[in-house]
Amino acid sequence: MADRFNVAEALADGCPIRADAWAFVQGFAAAWSTPLSPTDGFTSAEVQRAEDRLGFRLPVALREAYALFGRRRDLVAQQNPLLEPDELLLDPSGELLVFRSENQGCAGWGVALADLSREDPPVVLFGDRLPGPSRLHFLGRLSLACVETVLSEAAMAGWTEGRTCQATPEVVACLEEEFAPVALPPYPAWFEPMGQPVRWFSASGLLLCLEPGSEGMDLVVTGRTKADVQRAVEAIPGAWPPAVTAVAEAVDDHEWALPF
């Protein structure tokens, strides 16, 4: 299965319902890491305690995500973690439920309290790099934001391989010709929210992310193995820097700062 799993193919229909997003996470975990198990989620009692503390019920999509893979730190807590139920908090305005945080507290992802009654509500991005107190639309459904979390956290994981080069027009042309686009809507990067949106492509064993860089756009290649990454490096005519050994590890419980 691992050799056949292609992210673009698995997300070809864009996950029109929540169950599609959860099926993708299950398939991705089995192919790229280890299969989900019944102990990988938080219990209903743990989620209920968070709801009692906050004073409201969480959206169905968030409760389902917690129950299925909330404890799988390899999938959701490599760099910018999905908050655990007892870490959920409101933003300073009191208008957003924050469920994911950049690891130094520079940005966060949340759901408007006015949308909490929706089963799969839209997600907004806020952070230090946005002008004033503004926030940006991130993705239209929380289940899609969870899919994005799994992909972006895999790109930072110590159990994957990676290389980065500047996304010149030649690089982008090759990428668009040789690799399949992933059916996630373009969305803002937390570290450059006013820049060009993030886009994903894939092949079997490979994830390729176009994201804002120091000079225009960068192409970040993530593979299950060094051989997977080497296939992409050989196929894409970029100025690839020398490979370095991955050193990223899953963060411990208190290794990041919450956004407030």
- Separation CA 246–CA 119 (nearest Å): 38
Q: What are phi and psi of 32, to 5 degrees?
A: -105, -20
pTM: 0.93
pLDDT at residue 55 greater than cutoff 70: yes
Instruction: Give me the mean pLDDT over the 84-90 stretch.
Output: 97
**Nearest to residue 147, comparing CAs of 13, 38, 242?**
13
pLDDT of residue 257: 82
Residue 253, pLDDT above cutoff 90: no
Cα–Cα dist 24/12, whole Å = 11
Span 138-162, pLDDT tens digits: 999 999 999 999 999 999 999 999 9
- DSSP assigned state of 196: P
What is the total residue count of the chain? 260
Q: What percent of the chain has pLDDT over 70?
A: 93
Identify the H or E element spanning 67. helix 60-69
Name the least confident of 34-43, 100-109, 237-246, 250-259.
Answer: 250-259
b/e for 153-162, b at 16 or more Cβ within 10 A? bbbbbeebbb
Q: 255 or 181: whose pLDDT is higher?
A: 181
Looking at the predicted structure, is the pLDDT value of residue 3 above 90?
A: no
Looking at residue 259, its pLDDT comes to 78
What pLDDT, on a 0 to 100 scale, did the predictor assign at position 117? 97
Q: Would you state the pLDDT for residue 248?
A: 45
- Asked if 183 contacts 8 with a C-beta cutoff of 8 angstroms, the reply is yes
Could you report the per-residue pLDDT of 25-47, keeping only the tens digit for each?
A: 999 999 999 999 999 999 999 99
**DSSP assignment letter at 189:** B
pLDDT at 15 over 80: yes
- Residue 238 clears pLDDT 70, i.e. is over it: yes
Distance CA(40)–CA(59), nearest Å, equals 19
Whether residue 144 contacts residue 219, with contact meaning beta carbons closer than 8 Å, is answered with no
Is residue 206 within 8 Å of residue 229, measured between CB atoms? yes
Joined together, the tokens standing for residue 246 give 């991955």
Give 162-219 pLDDT, tens digit per residue.
999 999 999 999 999 999 999 999 999 999 999 999 999 999 999 999 999 988 999 9
Mean pLDDT of 78-88: 97
pLDDT of 98: 97
Q: How far apart are CA 233 and CA 179, in angstroms?
A: 13
Q: pLDDT band for position 247 (50/70/90)?
A: very low
